[in-house]
Amino acid sequence: MSQLANIKNVVIYTRVSTSEQAESGLGLAGQLAACEKLAKEKGWKIEAPTFTDAGVTSDLAATDRPELARAVRVVAAMNAIAKKEGREPDTAILAAKQDRLERDGGDLAWLKKNTIFLAADDPEANNLMRGFKSLINEEEKARIKARTKAALGALRADATNPDSPNHKEAAEKVERIKAGLAAGRTKERTAHATATRTTKASVFALEQRPRIAEVVMDGATSLMQIATALNANGYVTPRGTAWTPAAVKRVLDNLAAMGKEVKIQK
């Protein structure tokens, strides 16, 4: 049986390289639509939330992309639950195309080692095909980088040369680029901080689910008993503090909202 045959749940990941693409939402919307279409065709459940690295270039290694790292952690947590329940790993990261996930062999190797992932445009691709695509992606990445560098170099040269016939227009473009980058970074930081708080809570809740389920199976029947058991096992909250009934309730509520409820026997 192929890996694809085991998949029942997907975590969608999207990425665009520039602030302008992130702000327009067009590239992200297209990626999301492609993933949702395949999930519907395959009967896969889409797990919330969608993980998006907006304005993140492929020059940044896969290991350094914050939302991709969180998607990998969620998939790992869900597949750990499946294993604990005696099932095959059944959750994967789903991206519109492989180049949204990686553009070089190092990133591909890291993904293959740490997670299960699929591309909506070719979900049945085997490792050989993935390797070919990674080589193509890496070459395209180098070409894009070279074209962009050359274009910016020419623009800056005109902008700093008063004798250039394009001096005024080039100087204005350079200033617009600088202003756009600064504004985009500020907007991204604000949006990312808000999304990150919600995403981190969801990821943490999924990671705690096997631990909470285990102490419930061992006989814990109240929030206080669960908190006591977690503390006894050396587990801590995201802030590094001891578990309290309120902290346990927040995690259980988060899990319930994601359809991953842990039922406590009264």
10-24, 91-105, 110-124, 201-215: least confident range: 10-24
CA distance 25 to 19: 10
State whether 47 and 125 are in the same domain. Answer: yes
DSSP state of 87: -
Mean of pLDDT values over 220-224: 93
Bridging pattern class, strands 91-95 and 9-16: parallel
Determine the pLDDT at residue 195.
46
State whether 9 and 124 are in the same domain. Answer: yes
pTM, two decimal places: 0.63
Determine the pLDDT at residue 57.
76
Residue 110 has pLDDT above 60, yes or no: yes
Q: Do the domain assignments include residue 94?
A: yes
- Compute the mean pLDDT over every residue in the chain, rounded to the nearest whole number: 83
- The terminus-to-terminus CA distance of the chain in angstroms comes to 40
State whether 9 and 104 are in the same domain. Answer: yes
Question: pLDDT tens across 165-176, in order?
Answer: 888 888 888 787
Q: Do the domain assignments include residue 137?
A: no
Question: pLDDT tens across 182-208, in order?
Answer: 654 554 454 444 445 556 777 788 888
**Number of domains, the chain:** 2
Q: Are 91 and 116 in contact (CB under 8 A)?
A: yes
Question: pLDDT tens across 28-86, in order?
Answer: 889 999 999 999 999 999 987 789 988 787 777 888 888 898 888 889 888 888 887 88
State whether 120 and 209 are in the same domain. Answer: no
Specify the residue for token string 């590094």: 240
Question: pLDDT tens across 153-164, in order?
Answer: 888 898 889 888
7-21, 92-106, 135-149: least confident range: 135-149
Determine the pLDDT at residue 239.
87
Determine the pLDDT at residue 188.
47
Q: Among 78, 98, 130, which residue terminates a domain?
A: 130
Residue 1: band (very low, low, confident or very high) from pLDDT cuts 50, 70, 90: very low
Q: Are 47 and 177 in contact (CB under 8 A)?
A: no
Q: Do the domain assignments include residue 36?
A: yes
Residue 151 has pLDDT above 70, yes or no: yes
CA distance 54 to 22: 5
Q: Do the domain assignments include residue 155?
A: no
Residue 2 has pLDDT above 80, yes or no: no
Please give the residue range of the domain that contains residue 117: 3-130
Determine the pLDDT at residue 244.
95
